[in-house]
Structure 1
Amino acid sequence: MSRASIATLVGLAGFLAYVIAVVTLADHVLQMHWAVQALFFLVAGTVWAFPASRLILWAGGK
């Protein structure tokens, strides 16, 4: 199996797990102050990019 195939499977599984975790936590955050909500969604919307970029670099062989 090539690196790209492995990266695709791992990336999809990881992203699905991340979305489930964020949606589950969002249920609790939605009851908090709007500033806490904004911070949560700002962080949750950007944090996924760091492991995804590492996975893409690995899949490319770098």
Structure 2
Amino acid sequence: MSRIAIAVPAGLIAFFVYVGLVLMAADHVLQWHWLAQVPFFVIAGIAWAFPAKWLMVWAAGQR
């Protein structure tokens, strides 16, 4: 089985799980002051990119 065939469904499942967890956490964060919300949403919006990059590099077979 090729790495791409593993990476695509694994990446999609992981992304949807991540979005669900962020949405559950956002329900609590929305009660905070907006200055406290900004770091949460900035970090949550960027954090998914690092594991996605690793997964794409792995699927491409590069180091």
Gaps of 5+ in 2: none
Kindly state the Cα deviation for residue 2 of structure 1 after the two structures are TM-superposed.
1.1
Kindly indicate whether residue 30 of structure 2 is the aligned counterpart of residue 30 of structure 1: yes
Consecutive aligned runs of 4 or more in structure 1 exceeding 6 Å deviation: none
TM-score (norm 1): 0.97
Kindly indicate whether residue 39 of structure 2 is the aligned counterpart of residue 2 of structure 1: no
- 1:46 aligns with 46
Count of aligned pairs between the two proteins: 62
TM-score (norm 2): 0.95
- 1:59 aligns with 59
Separation in 2, partners of 1:35, 1:8: 36
Gaps of 5+ in 1: none
Kindly state the Cα deviation for residue 12 of structure 1 after the two structures are TM-superposed.
0.3
The residue type equivalent to 1:28 in the other structure is H
| Secondary structure of the structure 2 residue equivalent to 1:32 | coil
